Structure 1
Amino acid sequence: MPPMSADPDSSTRPPAAREASSAAGTPGATKSGPKKAMEKLGLRRDIDLALHLPLRYEDETRLTPIAEAGEGETVQCEGVVRESRVELRGRRQLIVRLQDEGSQGAGRARGTELTLRFLHFYPTHQKSLAVGQRVRVRGEIRGGFFGREMVHPTFRAVDEDTPLATALTPVYPAGAGLPQAYLRKAIAAAMKRAPLDEVLPAGTVPKPLPPLREALNYLHHPPPLARLGSLEDHSHPAWQRLKFEELLAQQLSQMKAQRERALLRAPMLPTRPGGLQERLLAALPFALTGAQRRVCEEIAHDLARPQPMHRLLQGDVGSGKTVVAAMSAAICIEAGWQCALMAPTEILAEQHFRKLIGWLEPLGIRVAWLTGSVKGKARQKMLDAVADGSAQLVVGTHAVIEDKVQFKFLGLAIVDEQHRFGVAQRLALRKKLESQTGELPPGYGDHVPHLPPQRSGIEPHMLMMSATPIPRTLAMTYFADLDVSTIDELPPGRSPIVTRVFADGRRDEVIAKIADAVAEGRQVYWVCPLIEESEALDLKNATETHAELSAALPERMIGLLHGRMPPAEKAAVMSLFSAGEMQVLVATTVIEVGVDVPNASLMVIEHAERFGLSQLHQLRGRVGRGSVASVCVLIYTGPLSQTGKERLRAMAETTDGFEIARRDLDIRGPGEFMGSRQSGAELLRFADLQEDAPLLQAARRLAPQLLDAHPAAAAKHVDRWLGSKAEFLKA
C-alpha cells in the first residue's frame, strides 16, 4: 500500500486537502511543478535522489485501537465514518466521527470513538470522509470537549483488505510544490536505477559498515522494529557508511586538487639578500612580531618554488596581516612581477591602499588603485598602467578581476577576507595570468630554464587572508588542500577590550557612557544592523540613531555612514573620523573590517542578537587599537533565542578569535560557518565534524592510497558524491 502523505507541502491549498488529493493519486501540483521543485533542491540525477535522505519516519506498519490510543501519542487508527458534518463555530469546520470495529453497535463504549476536526477543507474531504466510508487516519491524539480528537490528521480511504505498510514511512526534506507522495515515488524509482554498486576496493571500507546499497535501502525504508533513536541521531551503521563515503569524497577531491596544482607552474619569486623585502622591513616604524616573521618565512619559501602557492593566512583581528601581505608583495615585485590585492569592500581596500602606499612608495614602488568608483580617464590610466606593468601592486575590490583588467606580469594574487568572495571570483583571479599574452619578465628564464615563453599552464601564487580563524577540524576538511599559516600573536601595545551586554531598556546608560568617552577625547562607533531584506529599513534605523545621538550630544560632530551613500561621501566621512574631527560614527556594517582608528575606544553594537558571532568579533576588533582600555557594548532587544544567548555569552566571556571560531562552529555548523567556500552549496550534508572525527581520520588515511593505487575508483567516488561541486574546492 502506498504510504499516507505525512508532511503537507506548502502550496496554497489547505493541508488536509493536499493530503486527500495526494492520497487519491492526484498530486496537488502540476506535472512540471514537482519536477521544478526537485531541481531547486538539486535533485537532478538518480544518485541525487538516492542520497536525499529522510528527515524522520512515521510508523504506518501498525494499527492502534482507538480505545488504546493515549492522549499526546501519534498513532494510526482505522474505522468507519459514522457522522460527517460542517459546523459553524466562529469558523466553518468539518467534524467527522470515526468508530473502529469494536465500537460498532448499540453497546459501543465511548472510549472507542474518535473525532476528526478539519479547520480547512474542500468538498473532496467531505466526499472522501462520507458516512459509511472506511478510512485509515494518523495524527496526534488530543483531549477535546467532546472526547479525544485528531486535528487535521492524514487520512486515506481503505477497505478491509488494504494491507499495512511493511516499513517505516520516510518523511523527506521538501519545498513548495513537492508533495511527499510524489517525492517518495521518485526516490523509490531512482533507487532502482542509481549506480549504487561498490566502487571502493574490497577491504578499504571500515568494518562493520554495510555496503552502500544496503545502507541506503535501510535508511529509506527501515523495518518496523528499527531502532529509531539510532536513525534520528545518525549513529546507526547505515548512517556511518554514508558519512564515511561523504568525507572520503571530500578528502579525495581536495587531495586531487592539491596534486593537480603541484603539476602546474608558477613564477619562481626568490628572496634576494638586501632586496626590497629587507629594505621594507628596515623602513617600517615598528618591529614584526615573532608570529609575523614566521609566516613571512613560510610564504617566502612557497614563493621561491615553481609550483603555485595556495596558502591561507589566518590571524585574529588586529594581528597585522596587512604588513605580511606587504612583505609578500615586496618579494614578488623584487622578482619583476606584479602583485594584486583584492578586498571585498571599498573601505577595506582603501585601508590597505593607504597603508601600502605609505610603506612602499618611498621605496619606489608604484601602487595602483582600482575599484568600481574609479571612472573615466582616471580608470583608463590605471588600466594602462596595469597592462604595461608599470603598476607593480594593484589594490582594489572585485573590479580587479573584470575582463578589461589585463596584467602584464601577475605573479601573486592576495585575497583579503577570502570567505566574502564567491568561488567564481577567486577562480577568475587565479586565471588572470593564463589570459595574458605579454612576454615573461626579463631574466626569468635564468630561474626556470625549461619554461617556454608562453603562459599556458602557469598560475599566479595565491595568498588568502582571513580574520576568521578556522578551527582545526575545518582546516582538515574544507581547507585540506591549503597550507595554513597562523598569526597567533597580537602586536605589543594593544589595549584589552572589555565586553558588556545591555538590554535595550538601558539605552540611556549607553549614551551617557558615550558622552563620558567623548569628553575624555576618545571616539566612538555605533553600529546598526544591516537588514538585507530592506535597505530602506536599514537606512531608517541608522538615521534615527544618528538623530538621537545628535540630539543627546549637540556640541559634538556625529557622522553617518551607510551602504547607500556615494563612495565620495563615504570617503569624506571616514576621513573626518580618522582625523579625529568627528567624535561619533553611526554606521552599518560597512565598517566591519579594515577601519583602523587607534583613538576609537568604545564600540556600541545595536540589536547585537541579529549579528553572527564572527561578525560581532570582527566589529569588536575595530576598537582596542590604541593604548587606552577599550569597551564593546552589545545592546540586545529581547526575548533572546537560545542561539542569541549563546552568541552574546561567548562575546562576553572571551576575546580570543580562535575560541570564538570554535563556538561559532558549534552554534552554526560547518556549512553555514564556511559561507562562500561552497558558494552556497553545503559540501558536507551528513557528517558532523565533531562527532565523526574517527571517520574523518579514516577518510584522510584512505584518500591518498586510493589516488595512488586506484585512481579510477577514486574518480567515480568523487563524481557520485560531489559532481560539479568538486570545482568549488579548487578556489
Structure 2
Amino acid sequence: MDFAALAPTLQSRLAKLGINRAFDLVLHLPLRYEDETQLLPIADALMGTSVLVEGEVQTLDVMFRPKKQLVARVADASGMLVVRLINYYPNQAAQLAVGKRVRLYGEIRRGFWGDEMVHPKIKSVGDGAALSEALTPVYPTTAGMNQAAIAKLIGKALRECRLSDTLPAAMLADYGLPAFADSVQLLHAPTPDIPNVLLQHRTHPAWRRLKFDELLAQQLSLRMARAARREKNAPVIAADGRLAAQLVASLPFALTRAQNRVLLDIARDLKTPHPMQRLLQGDVGSGKTIVAAIAACHAIECGYQVALLAPTEILAEQHYRKLSSWLAPLGIKVVWLAGSLKAKDKRAAIEDAALGTAPLVVGTHAIFQQQVEFKNLGLVIVDEQHRFGVAQRLALRAKGSSPHQLMMSATPIPRTLAMSFYADLDVSVIDELPPGRTPIVTKLISDARRDEVIARIAAKVMEGRQVYWVCPLIEESEALQLQTAVDAHAQLSEELQGVAVGLLHGRMKPDEKAAVMAEFIANRIQVLVATTVIEVGVDVANASLMVIEHAERMGLAQLHQLRGRVGRGAHASLCVLLYSGPLGDTAKARLRVIFENTDGFVIAQEDLRIRGPGELAGVRQSGVPMLRFADLEADADLVEAAREAAEGLLANDLPATIAHLDRWLPGREALLRV
C-alpha cells in the first residue's frame, strides 16, 4: 500500500489518529465490535440491547414537532418498528423509501409512536442477502473520516502489508503467543463465537500478543539507548571525598543509611568513563537535595562544573539558597541563573559559568539558552526530571562533553512503571525518612466546616507556627465553581485580623513571587495562600498546618506532594483536606487513599491505577513512546516477559531486534530517553 500516494487531506486526517504510514493502519485496532452476524425478528428483539433486524419500509414521513425529523415504519412478518432520524441527509431518506428492504442495527426502546430505533445503522439489502461472518469493528476516528472509509483503508493495509512474524518461533512458543498475522486479522474481524469479555477486556491471546510486542519494542529501544550511552565518553570523576567529607561534617544532622547507600551508587557511576544516567527517587522529605550536594562536591573536587536544574524559579531559588548555605563556607561559589534576573546579574552569572569561576550553577530553563556556556561541565542534576522535555535535556547535555546526569524525582515509581518507562536508567531509592521528622496527621473535612478550620489556623499562628492554604485555581471558573486563591486571600485577611496573610500564584512576576516567599521564610507572613505552585520543593520548617481546598479535584501524587510541604520541622503537623460534596466514587476513592496512607509508593501505585502511566511518569513530555495497548497494572506479567525477552533478543538475534523496532517504532530513535 502506497501511503504517500493518498490525498494530502486524507493523510492529514489520518495523522490526527496517529496513522502516518500504511502499517499504522494495521495497528489501528477497534474500540469495540457490533454483532451483525445474527438476524432477529422484530418481535423477538430485546429492549435496551443492540440488535440486527430486517424489514420492508412501510411508510416514510417528515415530522416537524417537536423538531424536524424523518420517521419511517419498517415491518417484517413478526412486527413493526419505528425508525427515527432527528438529523438526516438526503441519501438516508432515499435508503428509507417506501418498499425498500433494509437492515437496521441499533438499540430498540419505547417511543412516542411505539418501539423505535433512533439513528440506527441502515443498510439496503435484497431478499436473502448473506449475513456477516465476523463481528463488525468500530474504529477510533476523526472529523471527516467515517467508519466505512477507515475500515476500507484498514482492509487494504491488511491485504498488502507484510504481516509475517518479526519474532523467532521459539520465543513465541516459550511465551505461549499466537502468530502476529493471526492476531491482527482476528482483532480486526473476530468471529461471533469468541466471548465478548475477552475482546473488551483485552485478555484474548491475540490481544496479549500485541501487548507483548508493544512492550518488547519499548524494552528494546530503551536498552539500545542505554547501550549507546555506554559508547560515549564522559569525564572520570574519581574524587577522594575530601570536599564531601567537609560538607557532611558541617551538617547539623546525620545522613540516613539509605542516603549513604545511594551516595555509593553515585560515586561508583561517576568513576566510570561513560555517562551516568541515574534516577534518584525518594518520597517527599527524604533528603534528596543533600545527596545532590554531595554528588556535586565529588565533581567540583575533581575540577568539574555542576549544573542543577529545577522546573520553577521558586524551587530553583530555594535550591540556590540551601546549596549556598552548605557550600559557600567550603569556598565553593554558587551562582543563580534565571529568566527574572536583571540584565547585569544575568551577564555576570553567564560569565562565571563560561570562565569556570562558578563551580555550581543553579537555575531554571534559562540554563538552556544558547549564550550560556560552561568551561568544564561534568555533572548535570535535574530535579523533578519528568517536568522537562526531551529537547531541553538534550540541549543541556550539549553544554558539556556527555556529562554525567543525576535525575531526581519525589514521585515514587511503582515497580511495573520503573520496569517499563525507566528501563534504560539506573534507579536508586531513598526509602527512609531522616530521623526527627514528625508524622503528618491528615484530616478530611467538609467545606461546610470552613469556620472551624479558620479557627484552627488562628490557634496555630498564636503558637508561633505558620500555615499554607492551597487553592487549585487563580480566577473564578463558572464550570468548576471553585474557590479561588484571590478570594481565599481576601476572606482570610478579613477573618484573621492582625495576621499577615500572603498570596502566591503562578501568574505573578518572578520577583513578586520571590519576595512573597522570602517574607514567608522569614516568618513575616504567617499564612500563605497559594496555588499549587508550591507543590514541589518549598521547605519552611516552621509551617506545620496545610489546608488544601477542593482536594477532591486533585490527583493523588499532587496531594501527596503538597502534604509534604509540612512536617519538615520538629512540630506536630496537620494537613486538612477540604472537600465539597457530594463526592463521586472516584473522588471518594482518591481521598480515602491519601487519608489512609503516608507511604508514597502505595499512593503512587494507586495513582498509576487511576491516572495511567503517562501523567505519573511524565512520559508525555519525556519522549518515551506511550503504550497504546498494554496496561501496566493488568499486564504486569507481560512487562516481566518482555523485559526478559528483550535481553535474549538483543544478545542473540540482532536482525529480529531491528525488524521488530522497525515495525513498532520506526524513526523513533530521537525520542529515546536522554
Shorter-chain TM-score tier: over 0.9
- Residues 316 and 468 of structure 1 are in contact (CA less than 8 Å); yes or no, is this contact kept in structure 2? yes
Q: What residue in structure 1 maps to residue 122 of structure 2?
A: 155
Q: What residue in structure 2 maps to residue 507 of structure 1?
A: 450
Q: What residue in structure 2 maps to residue 78 of structure 1?
A: 54
Kindly provide the CA deviation profile for residues 312-332 of structure 1, in whole angstroms up to 9, marking residues without a partner as x.
000111111110000000000
TM-score, normalised with respect to structure 2:
0.95
Selected match of 2:187 from 216, 219, 223:
219
Q: In the alignment, is residue 585 of structure 1 matched against residue 528 of structure 2? A: yes
Q: In the alignment, is residue 350 of structure 1 matched against residue 317 of structure 2? A: yes
Alpha-carbon offset, residue 682 of structure 1: 5.2
Q: What residue in structure 2 maps to residue 566 of structure 1?
A: 509
Alpha-carbon offset, residue 560 of structure 1: 0.6
Q: In the alignment, is residue 197 of structure 1 matched against residue 164 of structure 2? A: yes
Q: What residue in structure 1 maps to residue 134 of structure 2?
A: 167
Kindly provide the CA deviation profile for residues 281-315 of structure 1, in whole angstroms up to 9, marking residues without a partner as x.
11122211111111111111111111111100001
Q: In the alignment, is residue 662 of structure 1 matched against residue 605 of structure 2? A: yes
| Superposition RMSD in Å | 2.2
Structure 2 CA distance for partners of 1:590 and 1:537, relative to 1, 3 Å? farther
Kindly provide the CA deviation profile for residues 394-414 of structure 1, in whole angstroms up to 9, marking residues without a partner as x.
100111112111111110000
Selected match of 1:672 from 601, 606, 615:
615
**What SS does the aligned partner of 2:441 have?**
strand
Q: What residue in structure 2 maps to residue 52 of structure 1?
A: 28
**What SS does the aligned partner of 1:586 have?**
strand
Alpha-carbon offset, residue 509 of structure 1: 2.1
Q: What residue in structure 2 maps to residue 270 of structure 1?
A: 238
- In 1, Cα distance between the equivalents of 2:57 and 2:576? 63
Q: What residue in structure 2 maps to residue 689 of structure 1?
A: 632
Q: Which runs of 5+ in 1 are unaligned?
A: 1-29, 104-111, 435-458
- In 2, Cα distance between the equivalents of 1:167 and 1:532? 53
Structure 2 CA distance for partners of 1:644 and 1:527, relative to 1, 3 Å? same
Alpha-carbon offset, residue 35 of structure 1: 3.2
Kindly provide the CA deviation profile for residues 525-559 of structure 1, in whole angstroms up to 9, marking residues without a partner as x.
11111479989999982111111111111221111
Greater mean alpha carbon deviation, residues 209-218 or residues 253-262: 253-262
Q: In the alignment, is residue 629 of structure 1 matched against residue 596 of structure 2? A: no
Q: What residue in structure 2 maps to residue 414 of structure 1?
A: 381
Structure 2 CA distance for partners of 1:678 and 1:580, relative to 1, 3 Å? closer
Q: What residue in structure 1 maps to residue 3 of structure 2?
A: none
- In 2, Cα distance between the equivalents of 1:385 and 1:536? 49
Kindly provide the CA deviation profile for residues 223-251 of structure 1, in whole angstroms up to 9, marking residues without a partner as x.
23222211111111111111111111111
- Residues 678 and 728 of structure 1 are in contact (CA less than 8 Å); yes or no, is this contact kept in structure 2? no
Structure 2 CA distance for partners of 1:397 and 1:520, relative to 1, 3 Å? same
Alpha-carbon offset, residue 89 of structure 1: 3.1
**What SS does the aligned partner of 1:390 have?**
coil
One-letter amino acid of the structure 2 residue matched with residue 618 of structure 1: Q
- Residues 34 and 179 of structure 1 are in contact (CA less than 8 Å); yes or no, is this contact kept in structure 2? no
- In 2, Cα distance between the equivalents of 1:729 and 1:641? 39
Q: How many pairs were matched up? A: 668
Greater mean alpha carbon deviation, residues 489-498 or residues 125-134: 125-134
- Residues 80 and 98 of structure 1 are in contact (CA less than 8 Å); yes or no, is this contact kept in structure 2? yes
- In 1, Cα distance between the equivalents of 2:668 and 2:478? 32
One-letter amino acid of the structure 2 residue matched with residue 508 of structure 1: D
One-letter amino acid of the structure 2 residue matched with residue 486 of structure 1: V
One-letter amino acid of the structure 2 residue matched with residue 360 of structure 1: L
- Residues 386 and 621 of structure 2 are in contact (CA less than 8 Å); yes or no, is this contact kept in structure 1? no
Structure 2 CA distance for partners of 1:511 and 1:581, relative to 1, 3 Å? same
Q: In the alignment, is residue 428 of structure 1 matched against residue 395 of structure 2? A: yes
Question: For 1:13-162, what aligned pairs fall within 5 Å after superposition?
Answer: 34-100=10-76, 102-103=77-78, 112-160=79-127, 162=129
**What SS does the aligned partner of 1:204 have?**
helix
Q: In the alignment, is residue 365 of structure 1 matched against residue 341 of structure 2? A: no
Selected match of 1:703 from 646, 654, 658:
646
- In 2, Cα distance between the equivalents of 1:383 and 1:475? 36
Question: For 1:378-527, what aligned pairs fall within 5 Å after superposition?
Answer: 378-434=345-401, 459-527=402-470
Structure 2 CA distance for partners of 1:538 and 1:466, relative to 1, 3 Å? farther
Alpha-carbon offset, residue 94 of structure 1: 2.1
- Residues 337 and 361 of structure 2 are in contact (CA less than 8 Å); yes or no, is this contact kept in structure 1? yes
Structure 2 CA distance for partners of 1:431 and 1:557, relative to 1, 3 Å? same
Q: What residue in structure 1 maps to residue 546 of structure 2?
A: 603
- In 2, Cα distance between the equivalents of 1:424 and 1:460? 16
Structure 2 CA distance for partners of 1:45 and 1:534, relative to 1, 3 Å? farther
Kindly provide the CA deviation profile for residues 10-45 of structure 1, in whole angstroms up to 9, marking residues without a partner as x.
xxxxxxxxxxxxxxxxxxxx9755532210221011
**What SS does the aligned partner of 1:164 have?**
coil
Selected match of 2:297 from 325, 330, 342:
330
Q: What residue in structure 2 maps to residue 308 of structure 1?
A: 275
- In 1, Cα distance between the equivalents of 2:597 and 2:274? 40
- In 2, Cα distance between the equivalents of 1:696 and 1:404? 43
Q: What residue in structure 2 maps to residue 249 of structure 1?
A: 217
Alpha-carbon offset, residue 358 of structure 1: 0.4
Structure 2 CA distance for partners of 1:711 and 1:300, relative to 1, 3 Å? same
Structure 2 CA distance for partners of 1:464 and 1:636, relative to 1, 3 Å? same
Q: What residue in structure 2 maps to residue 109 of structure 1?
A: none
Runs ≥4 residues deviating over 6 A: 531-540
- Residues 561 and 586 of structure 1 are in contact (CA less than 8 Å); yes or no, is this contact kept in structure 2? yes
Alpha-carbon offset, residue 50 of structure 1: 0.7
One-letter amino acid of the structure 1 residue matched with residue 192 of structure 2: P
- Residues 54 and 173 of structure 1 are in contact (CA less than 8 Å); yes or no, is this contact kept in structure 2? yes
Greater mean alpha carbon deviation, residues 565-574 or residues 522-531: 522-531
**What SS does the aligned partner of 2:84 have?**
strand
- In 1, Cα distance between the equivalents of 2:318 and 2:306? 17
**What SS does the aligned partner of 2:539 have?**
coil
- In 2, Cα distance between the equivalents of 1:687 and 1:537? 33
- Residues 390 and 623 of structure 2 are in contact (CA less than 8 Å); yes or no, is this contact kept in structure 1? no
- In 1, Cα distance between the equivalents of 2:68 and 2:622? 47
Selected match of 1:236 from 195, 201, 204:
204
- In 1, Cα distance between the equivalents of 2:482 and 2:335? 32
- In 2, Cα distance between the equivalents of 1:60 and 1:96? 21
- In 2, Cα distance between the equivalents of 1:686 and 1:664? 19
Q: What residue in structure 1 maps to residue 262 of structure 2?
A: 295
- Residues 339 and 410 of structure 1 are in contact (CA less than 8 Å); yes or no, is this contact kept in structure 2? yes
Alpha-carbon offset, residue 727 of structure 1: 3.5
One-letter amino acid of the structure 2 residue matched with residue 79 of structure 1: G
